[in-house]
Chain A
Amino acid sequence: MKTFRLHLSGLKRSTRSEPKGLNLVPLWVVLAGFLLAACGNDMRDQPRYDPLAPAPGWPNDQSARVPVEGTVARDESLQPVPDTLPEPLTRELLERGGQRYEIFCSPCHGDSGRGDGMVVQRGFPAPPSLHGAHLREIPLRHFYDVIENGFGRMYAYGARVPARDRWAIAAYIRALQLSQYAKLDDLAPRQRKQLQRESREDTP
């Protein structure tokens, strides 16, 4: 108790001039510093599970549990999956689809969809070209289903590609197919002229 009073009197400026004993403030500051320094690791490792952290005592020592069969996520749609694109086709959707296609599909199907991706070049069985007659005719929904559930030797991508991205990829594949079979008449007049000019320059 005595030391505590000394501490306080040391802090009060008005009592400075009064005669008093030792000024212990510096000592307290140093001691407090040591006390705080000792608290280190409790805050570094707080009693909580970080994502994918192990949880001894649970099945497989996993903190990430598999949801019960039939669980519906809060933002999941309860409607049956539509047969065609559920939203208007926009440039933004196609760009998203292109980006996702390059991440998830092009390692095998190749950037152009001809089934010559980098992994195929290293020995993975080649997938069919996406420009085959059969796949050009097929409804968009087929691509959605193949992404969600896989197909033959192709594993399912449903866990990594959410529903909206599946539609975006499907739309992009359709655009990719059209791009490979575009006729001269499909081009805008200016592009058509440019193409004709360029091909004339190419053939001397």
Chain B
Amino acid sequence: MYTELLKLCGFEPDEIKRERPRVDRAFAKLGLDEEDFRRGEWRLKEYLDIELLGLRKFLGIWMRELVNLVLAREEHDKIVYSDFPMELRPLMSMMLSTDEKEVYFGVPGQIINMTMGQIFDKITPYIEVGEESGMPPGAAHCALYQTRLGAMVKGVIPFPDLSVIASYHCDQPAEAEELLHEVYGVPVAYLDSCSDPNWGDWPKFNDSRVRYCSSQASRMFRMFEEIIGCQMTEEAIRTANRSNAIFRLTFQALIELIGHADPQPISQASLAHAFFLNSMPTRDIEGKQQALEILAEEVKQRVERGEGILEKGAPGVFCTATISVDPSITRMIERTGLAIRIQIPNWLSPWVLTKHPYREWSDMIGVGPCLDIPHSCEAHCLINLENCKAFNVDGAINFYPYSCREWVPTVIITKRMIEKELGIPVLVLEGDCYDTRNYSAGQLRTRVETFAELVKAHKAAKAA
């Protein structure tokens, strides 16, 4: 039933055979049927550059994680969850300090989004249960957290023995986890920081902010060790740090290659599967790195051959729509003739890569929120602007997720900054990265098409 689908997701025939009993059990629990598999196949072919082996390997990583997640209680003694915006390094260091057989470690919200959303378009039932379970509709709660709550309450995925959550960057994860704790008794370890730099401070940050977050990282690690019954190891920390750095640098080179290529070599919707692995812990470190390197090589070859998904000379835009549950909006934007040079902004600004003086593991975690978008609203807006400059775009689509309290304040400030400094058109689009019920590609198309005409005219006028 699902053989073809798994092949599209990079599974080899012998793996499909070997894994069939597990996949059967997981898919049955998820309520996936023939129609879903057909829809999944169609979506992969319709929206992604599915002929690329690197992408198929990424899809395989997500699909395996989905099966592991659903079967976690049957197969492991202990379960630890996290989710966005928790950084990958602390998660990986905790995960790698545990025995693979004993402890399952995952980010259920993201895994469900990237599979049940992206591939099967079947995310809504989870959101609806989340809405009935303490995160009601109409209140702009984050659908990522509604989804994971809904999946637990529905019994499709187990409740964890521990949740580790970042309470900086946005308030919602911690609010949702307090609910999980109060209503379902799940212990939660928080990584706290304060987003309090003054306007004009970016990219500076103060030591006390780092130290505070560092103290919370130590506390989180201690709680993890106590509840899971393990010891964080130096080796796990080193591996987490190194593998993360290598993946990010390779990813950085890839997005620069894509962003500067003309024509645009692959869809940004395809790249999303690699992008979200920047925050999904997996024990398959080698497989993940290998997938990225294969993808990078494939993209390089396309660029060298002058191949792409759009015509050469298409106007380029910066676009913040990285929608993890639905590739169709990104594809719709590209199909209006706009090359998305850079998204989200996932290009790391030079400041993010700057060396800092912290060497203790907890301090290195503590400095994380000071270096990038979580630094402040000002940082978020200026990084958007820098992304536009770095890729010399002709316009920007500032897609903002309904429900995201972190993102919302940056929307109009970013628009004004880009318009003022670069003199290019900016479209503000309201949508949702995690919930497809209220916003669809079809509904947004007319506005994007009109905007595309504007950008094209703007580019032509500039060239004349």
The answer to whether A binds B is no
